[in-house]
């Protein structure tokens, strides 16, 4: 018996927009594989012409990471969003409106938007602020300029154990460089050696004398770095043990402020804070040619691992 036009219309409408079976899945931490839950998962239809009732759905993710959209519209694809901006669906953020043949397992990555440095410790994410001004002087007898923190021993952000450093944003990844902060004894700077700086720590310079030095950048173990890119967004997660234990300055070539990071159990050197003015503070004598953290020889620029 042939179908009536009205029956054909109903069948066509159902094929395009009737509710499907539930669409289940699970959210897991991309770094640990552990469940990520107790948040809201939102699905928005990619087709701007989708029926109103098909345009979006939301569901609460349980503490075990499990979720289920009770109904979605078959034939449509949905973009997923989370209600927590510090979490990122860096790998899978598109799902069909019909159940998958295998359960959906969707990795979630701790990653704020924007540019900058963040510390991830025990699941807590916190922004890292620059720690000190950048000072610079000309190395005696050369055209080279050495940079150093304005204050000696300014505490930085400590990263230990299972902590991770997050470098967030294309600008931060392309421009920021890591240098060991290397202590040295009294130094005479300037073309004629007229600028005296008491014992201090310097950005990537190991002094043998006032006129002899070695440039040093940080070595970052690429096997302990994870990078994710999606569109214009890019984030790197660096394990705390990806660099040798020690104090590091992180800055770009033109920065007037620097981040100071302590990896491992490194502590700030002895010495009082510097007062405002041209000279660094007095402090305990450090031997000339003091060593940088072990292995700190290779370029520390954040190039692709």
Same domain membership, residue 254 and residue 120: yes
Q: What CA dihedral angle connects 208, 210, 212 and 216, to 10 degrees?
A: 70
Same domain membership, residue 183 and residue 126: yes
Tell me which of 283 and 232 has the higher pLDDT: 232
Same domain membership, residue 242 and residue 201: yes
277 located within any domain: no
pLDDT in tens, 62-109: 999 999 998 889 989 999 999 999 999 999 999 988 877 788 999 999
- pLDDT at residue 241 greater than cutoff 60: yes
Tell me which of 223 and 301 has the higher pLDDT: 223
Name the domain count of the chain. Answer: 2
pLDDT at 283: 36
42 located within any domain: yes
Cβ-based burial of 187 (10 A; exposed 0-12, middle 13-18, buried ≥19): buried
- pLDDT at residue 167 greater than cutoff 60: yes
In terms of phi and psi (left: phi > 0; alpha: psi -120 to 50; beta: otherwise), the region of 232 is: alpha
Q: Which domain holds residue 156?
A: 116-263
145 located within any domain: yes
pLDDT in tens, 181-239: 999 999 999 999 999 999 999 999 999 999 999 999 999 999 999 999 999 999 999 99
d(CA 20, CA 34): 29
pLDDT at 71: 85
Question: CATH no. for residue 99?
Answer: 2.60.40.10
Which of 247, 263, 279 is the last residue in one of the domains? Answer: 263
- pLDDT at residue 164 greater than cutoff 90: yes
């Amino acid at each position: 018996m042939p179908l009536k036009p009205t029956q054909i219309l109903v069948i066509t409408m159902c094929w395009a927009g009737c509710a499907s079976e539930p669409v289940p899945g699970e959210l897991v931490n991309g770094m640990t594989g552990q469940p990520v839950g107790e948040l809201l998962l939102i699905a928005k239809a990619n087709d701007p012409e989708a029926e109103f009732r098909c345009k979006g759905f939301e569901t609460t993710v349980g503490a075990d990471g499990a979720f289920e959209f009770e109904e979605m519209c078959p034939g449509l694809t949905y973009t997923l969003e989370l209600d927590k901006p510090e979490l990122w669906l860096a790998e899978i953020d598109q799902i069909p409106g019909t159940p998958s043949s295998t359960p959906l397992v969707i990795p979630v990555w701790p990653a704020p938007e924007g540019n900058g440095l963040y510390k991830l410790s025990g699941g807590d994410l916190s922004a890292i602020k620059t720690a000190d001004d950048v000072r610079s002087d000309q190395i005696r007898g050369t055209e080279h300029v050495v940079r150093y923190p304005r204050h000696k021993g300014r505490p930085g952000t400590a990263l230990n154990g299972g902590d991770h450093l997050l470098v967030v944003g294309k600008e931060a990844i392309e421009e920021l460089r890591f240098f060991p902060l290397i202590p040295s004894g009294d130094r005479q700077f300037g073309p004629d050696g007229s600028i005296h700086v008491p014992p201090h720590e310097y950005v990537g310079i190991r002094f043998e004398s006032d006129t002899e030095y070695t440039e040093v950048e940080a070595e970052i173990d690429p096997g302990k770095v994870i990078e994710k890119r999606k569109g214009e967004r890019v984030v790197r997660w660096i394990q705390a043990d990806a660099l040798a234990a020690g104090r590091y300055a992180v800055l770009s070539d033109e920065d007037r402020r620097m981040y100071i990071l302590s990896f491992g159990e490194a502590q700030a050197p002895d010495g009082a804070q510097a007062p405002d003015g041209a000279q660094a503070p007095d402090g305990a004598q450090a031997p000339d040619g003091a060593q940088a953290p072990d292995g700190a020889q290779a370029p520390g620029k954040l190039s692709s691992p």
